[in-house]
Structure 1
């Protein structure tokens, strides 16, 4: 790219990377419609069909499991086929799963629509999509962008949960499902026309990258970051690339510490609160719409907490941030059984605010540690760490449902989550911030010989 064209780009008021990030935010928002839906739809489904909490939790567990296990392959597929192709197909699968669910008549069909279709669709985007956008399009402000994109899911919860709960209670769960399907479909054309794979597709450098010919008094980004951003694109075998990243990372103790801690993160957010907070509040006499409103407020503060966490990640040790986040979350879960009642009171509001600020504030520091430790393999490795997140969420979603059916209440589920948070806080300290992943040659992504 010539010096003249670079100077022209530098004079633009808005770098194309921010438009790409905005559309990525929209796509994540649209795909997140289902993330909050099961908690609001489980009660009406139980009333209509008599399905048990355990059977519905199993479908959600399959969804969460596929959501996580698809992520590392999605990162590799984005490298192989392109971001917009993968994201557009993912949104179509979410729409098909949500829209097709209106014909369900048996509980096993939940496994197909809620579990397989929506699980594969949301997993093909997930937070690996956010990490891919942040790593490819940004050199500066990566932590902030990761926080903003992560907040896209929380924004979806904020936007969708109250109307989904209200429609499910007043009109029925089928129109609520169609609302989710419509949102996913409407995002497809925007994704197709705006998203691009690399900054060079728009004739620009990543945001914050300093061209060598014009480097002046402004400090240049790290050579590692610019090298990653400018790395040549090569077609890759998606499965080999994904498993290569796993085999490379599995030799490092830090990977296991991050993966287990993030599994606990998933268990105590998506698995417990995300799926079972509304049914648990309903057990205490709180109307489902009120509980859904509280969960939506979690989404409001999640946006603030995640963006602020991204800002903090650019400035402080990510390990210390993770210790603080898991500690606050564990205390909240420990106290939750005494906070639930048939009305909203100040202590419950305080829980919602703190839990919201902490909800996925763990994502920016976890993604940053993956990149610091594993270098250019960081995005693929983060995909596997995120898979652990969803395995934890799936286990907690099913386990809490079984606890509810066996004991008639969720108390032991909340206390178990509190204990797990203490374990996650300890594991976060184990992660080494050395760059051993950069110094060791990773397993080749596409060596077929």
Structure 2
């Protein structure tokens, strides 16, 4: 009986990684091989598109809920406000949880929370149930897929094209609103708001398998390096998620850079989500513009938002981030100062120019802000950005209420738009102030960096090469 022949030596694969022996071999077909970072980015984009659509859905349900249950708009708005605040406050803890337990697990749980919250609304009979379902459950779910998630994906999976990918993923928010809101509004009017809620539930559940099978936690999990990386990243050190998020915050608040970033991004929230997104339509209606026309202008801002954010990501790889961020805020401030004189009963050319400009500038601030968090805080950058984003959402929540009070007391939004415009110049000055680092900030930044060493060891090393 002949002895078995050992054919292992005849294989063309290198011996160090026998379990991945097929990886270095030549492709069997002539198709180009796609780096897995792009697959991860595609799944992340899909999740972000869904998260933005899910988070914006309560606005579609305001009128149907008011008509069916007789709830006041203030009561319904309470759930939306809680959703908005939780969306921001969840971000830093979600970023820490992703680094402790993995992106896949946290994102899958977030999608299940959204599905649960949306699905339970069809059975509600009391207003507190709306606060629980859409305010808390959906707020926590969508907050777990906030922009801190973008920082982790780009930090782990990309060295080259990091700014561009950040811009594309950030634009997923505008894309989600564009895709979901018209569909859900049509369903709410034609088939009832419960059909719209079931649609959100089904859509959230449909993304879960893609996350489980294609959103790998780290390049090392599939035996590759980050896209464009020249060296293997260090092994992450696990830490308690909430503890590390708070530890990073404790270190960050001792730096000038953190407060400049937080103040600037809070003003960003005031001038976008809290003011324009919520109050542009009623402000235009005050001047005689039909609500459908005003809504179409807001949708146009969303379309241009995608373009502006992608361009901003590309510029972040090439232009100093403080200069870029300061320019964005200054231009936004000037446009807001002009807005009260532009509002009219029709969408005249001057107003359309404002819409085009504001749309391009809307989320353009995100890529350079993420880059600055990496520059000043290294591996703790994603968690720091989560806290900075929390300031953004708190600013938005304050503006949403304040602008409404101003309108009720003064009969117009002029003071709200003017005040937000002036604040944007404050944000511009704060951003320019991030150009240099004091020795005290450098020392504290290094300590904050060490508090976040469980993130990705290569993040700090490649930050400078990414245009940050």
TM-score by length of 2: 0.84
Mapped pair 1:317 → 2:323? no
Distance across 2 between alignment mates of 1:261 and 1:9: 50
SS at match of 1:251: coil
Q: CA deviation at 1:370?
A: 0.5
Q: CA deviation at 1:70?
A: 0.8
1:89 to 109, 117, 120: 109
> Could you tell me which residue of structure 2 aligns to residue 201 of structure 1?
221
> Could you tell me which residue of structure 1 aligns to residue 147 of structure 2?
127
> Could you tell me which residue of structure 2 aligns to residue 18 of structure 1?
38
| Aligned counterparts, 1:210-359, within 5 A | 210-211=230-231, 230-359=233-362
Distance across 2 between alignment mates of 1:364 and 1:180: 28
| Aligned counterparts, 1:80-119, within 5 A | 80-119=100-139
Distance of aligned partners of 1:149 and 1:281 in 2 relative to their CA distance in 1, 3 Å threshold: same
> Could you tell me which residue of structure 2 aligns to residue 390 of structure 1?
393
1:24/1:149 contact within 8 Å kept: yes
Distance across 2 between alignment mates of 1:400 and 1:411: 9
Distance across 1 between alignment mates of 2:277 and 2:26: 43
Distance across 2 between alignment mates of 1:327 and 1:440: 31
Question: Relative contact order, CA 8 A, sep 6+: which one is greater?
Answer: 1
Distance across 2 between alignment mates of 1:145 and 1:329: 24
SS at match of 2:274: helix
1:90-124 Cα offsets, whole Å, 9 max, x none, are: 11222222333334444443322222111111111
Structure 2 residues not aligned, in runs of 5+? 1-15, 455-468
Q: CA deviation at 1:358?
A: 0.7
> Comparing 138-147 with 51-60, which one deviates more in the overlay?
51-60
Q: CA deviation at 1:345?
A: 2.7
1:237/1:446 contact within 8 Å kept: no
1:149 to 162, 169, 193: 169
> Could you tell me which residue of structure 2 aligns to residue 215 of structure 1?
none
1:98/1:114 contact within 8 Å kept: yes
Q: Please, what is the CA RMSD of the aligned residues?
A: 2.7
2:203 to 175, 183, 203: 183
1:74 to 90, 94, 97: 94
Q: CA deviation at 1:191?
A: 1.1
SS at match of 2:187: helix
1:249/1:255 contact within 8 Å kept: yes
Q: CA deviation at 1:373?
A: 0.7
2:376/2:445 contact within 8 Å kept: no
Distance of aligned partners of 1:241 and 1:24 in 2 relative to their CA distance in 1, 3 Å threshold: same
Distance across 2 between alignment mates of 1:51 and 1:330: 36
Distance across 2 between alignment mates of 1:437 and 1:26: 39
Alignment size in residue pairs:
430
2:255/2:445 contact within 8 Å kept: no
Distance across 1 between alignment mates of 2:36 and 2:193: 40
Structure 1 residues not aligned, in runs of 5+? 212-225
Distance across 2 between alignment mates of 1:25 and 1:102: 28
Distance across 2 between alignment mates of 1:438 and 1:24: 32
1:39/1:277 contact within 8 Å kept: no
Q: CA deviation at 1:432?
A: 3.9
SS at match of 1:70: helix
2:379/2:453 contact within 8 Å kept: no
1:418 to 405, 417, 421: 421
Distance across 1 between alignment mates of 2:26 and 2:139: 39
> Could you tell me which residue of structure 1 aligns to residue 183 of structure 2?
163
1:134/1:145 contact within 8 Å kept: yes
1:377 to 374, 377, 380: 380
1:38/1:275 contact within 8 Å kept: no
1:255-300 Cα offsets, whole Å, 9 max, x none, are: 1000010011112111112223334344444444433332222121
Greater Rg over alpha carbons, structure: 2
1:139 to 153, 156, 159: 159
